[in-house]
Structure 1
């Protein structure tokens, strides 16, 4: 049993002098009071663990390379496919381990990996058909974070059923039944949830969507939705529906489903997401980096759609920064400040993200929850002079000092248990370049 005395902790709001007792990786008591002998002290503001609800770990190799003298999402995708073509289980493990460790340094205790690099480059199969997935599982364990593996169905090159190109061959199991059979061979274990994903309505034909939804029943199911206007245009031409309407028609939407991006939505799309209880994961740094646009996130929240946050292509490795970008972009499109309260941002960073990833027992500092604690400095050049309740609006990954995952200290004094994470990233990315 360990007791942590927090100078300030985020309960329903910032509260000074909070003692959190952990036993067996769970919170067994939360009390307000002075420190006692034997307490481990955490200075600054202590948040629940952050949940990165949408990660593509291999995109970390592209950081800094997306300016590319201009272009669009579709020209960027060629660069991304070039990296995808060079990965194997060993290089994937090295890159994902370092990427997840970087997220841990930023306060992330749980990652949702939207994974579609299933097979060898060009197609074929590894001796273990889930070798690439097992690399991700090992990477998360090494980095000390929980993982929800959102194993992704990817079958076609467009909503009209266009064939896959050479790089996309490694993403595909052939059909949704074969995909489901492979995923069934992935056992859950401590620190791991197995979820599912429809890559997009571009990549899974309409007649295969119901099979994916049935196979994912009772588990987290994520899907890229309306990230680009061209996706909407192509889907309308092929099916007569928006992506959201098509997913609803085939039973993909619901309380276990999270629509990722959801940038270019109609009013009917917003109403459908709300009516079905579907959540939305915003990835503001990626949506800006790839010139996707700004989603109607305040409108979605007002309609009752739960919002969470993801790092997606790891533009910055800073989930606190993603929350601040959510607020900043909402200001830009509305002409008004204060579009999301600090409490709403903290919920998106923590409890909502964990729920979207299948961990409803994480993301709050409360009895029975997993003992995840993230200490954020109040005395850095970014946070000095700010009250605890203001830190979600200004703090950065560099202000995270201590990260505890289910009672285990993974980051202490800003240093990860794996050591020099920058060196790990440089080595892993250098091997791919």
Structure 2
């Protein structure tokens, strides 16, 4: 396989924005990064400004089918939840593959080169096991390979239907598809999944997730965390997304969700706390002390009226920040990054809570989903890059260093993942992604 050299007028390197950058790629890695270098014959010219590939650290891919469908009467959390369960009840491995392929291709168009899939749609209707108990997970692996992005399959332990005054309640209805009975059975199933980190069409890391303290009883929390840590795998959890979760946990355990995780030894630098919206000062300090990740999903958090989390306080306490598109009300990591700052401005009435380079760091936090060798334009890193146009109606006149404050996913021209061109001229290699989405989603609402 011969090497390829890309030339960029501007590129965001670890040292900052540099002019006239040549990036040479061989076998999926950057083998040379030259600054102040004129383009040479044979170089592939990239338009605009080049960024590292973006990392979508939190995805529920089947939620993509809910966009524009949950706002009847203005929309409540319950209308959203009913729609989510209706979609979950219908999907099988074939339709899941079609939906995930299209949604992951939409992510590639939006500059996303790796995704952390918080996967809990495991089994058949009523909880019936497929012949291959990981068939739904394998559909996601195939979908990501087809779409050309790396996948971290965060296989999610989901054991209970909720947490009430008398403790956890059983799974019921569509939730039965999510459960494995107990954490040990979950771990045995996930043991059969394998990483594929180099070579072949699929680039996959297997990680673990605890759905939430509402869905996983206290005695199972450490089982999931231990399984992940024995294999050096990323570990994620929904944490304090809504006040009701905190209230239920306090009533059941006398602890906040973060306090419960601390008591059970779950906190650590491998843990991503997704949402982390409704935290006490003590919760913030605990997450910071353990160098946890806090994964914010601003477009989802505002769509579901969940609130604005303490991003600056978490950063200042020692936590690290990542971003996700979660339910995919919007698939645009540039918008998620910008919203991190804009929500802070609305909440504090102050500008400049995050510098542009801070937003880029959150948007490229591949380490949080198990790809520590990605997210930087530097020698030896995975050859992911994104070219964002500087001549659109949104970006014309923008400082290349501040492009995340003006661009949208529509301004993405080129996306390269592990050295392979996946998007060129704003077009995905699979063709018409809008048609793929339409064909995958429309049948799920045929009776609506």
| TM-score interval for Structure 1 and Structure 2 normalised by the shorter chain | over 0.9
Pair 1:200-2:207 in alignment: no
Partner of 1:187: 194
| Mapping 1:253-402, distance limit 5 Å | 253-350=267-364, 352=365, 354-402=366-414
Partner of 1:165: 172
Structure 1 regions of 5+ residues with no counterpart?
Answer: none
> 2:159 pairs with 152, 155, 158, which one?
155
Runs of 4+ residues over 4 Å off in structure 1: none
Q: Deviations over 1:253-302 (max 9, x none)?
A: 10111000000000000000001111110000000000000001111111
Partner of 1:82: 86
Structure 2 regions of 5+ residues with no counterpart?
Answer: 198-202
Q: Deviations over 1:102-141 (max 9, x none)?
A: 0000100000000000000111100000000000000000
Q: Deviations over 1:372-398 (max 9, x none)?
A: 010000000000011101101111000
TM-score (norm 2): 0.95
8 Å CA contact retained: 1:49, 1:108? yes
Q: Deviations over 1:175-220 (max 9, x none)?
A: 0000000000011113100000000000000011111111111100
Partner of 1:28, secondary structure, is strand
Could you tell me how far 1:71 is from its partner in structure 2?
4.5
- Measured in 1, the distance between the counterparts of 2:78 and 2:182 equals 25
Partner of 2:125, secondary structure, is coil
Could you tell me how far 1:37 is from its partner in structure 2?
1.1
Could you tell me how far 1:13 is from its partner in structure 2?
1.7
8 Å CA contact retained: 1:73, 1:292? no
8 Å CA contact retained: 1:66, 1:289? no
Partner of 2:110: 106
- Measured in 1, the distance between the counterparts of 2:80 and 2:47 equals 42
RMSD over aligned CA atoms reads 0.8
> 1:7 pairs with 9, 20, 26, which one?
9
Partner of 2:34, secondary structure, is strand
Partner of 1:216, secondary structure, is helix
Pair 1:213-2:225 in alignment: yes
TM-score (norm 1): 0.98
Could you tell me how far 1:75 is from its partner in structure 2?
3.8
Could you tell me how far 1:73 is from its partner in structure 2?
2.4
- Measured in 1, the distance between the counterparts of 2:276 and 2:184 equals 27
> 1:29 pairs with 28, 32, 35, which one?
32
8 Å CA contact retained: 2:70, 2:79? no
Aligned residues, how many?
A: 431
Pair 1:123-2:137 in alignment: no
Pair 1:176-2:183 in alignment: yes
8 Å CA contact retained: 2:71, 2:79? no
Partner of 1:420: 432
Could you tell me how far 1:20 is from its partner in structure 2?
0.6
Q: Once structures 1 and 2 are overlaid, which stretch shifts more, 412-421 or 7-16?
A: 7-16
- Measured in 2, the distance between the counterparts of 1:397 and 1:106 equals 5
8 Å CA contact retained: 2:325, 2:331? yes
Q: Deviations over 1:32-66 (max 9, x none)?
A: 11111111111100000000000000000000122
Partner of 2:200: none
- Measured in 1, the distance between the counterparts of 2:262 and 2:380 equals 35
Partner of 1:359, secondary structure, is coil
Could you tell me how far 1:314 is from its partner in structure 2?
0.4
- Measured in 1, the distance between the counterparts of 2:12 and 2:420 equals 20
- Measured in 1, the distance between the counterparts of 2:392 and 2:9 equals 16
- Measured in 1, the distance between the counterparts of 2:125 and 2:261 equals 29
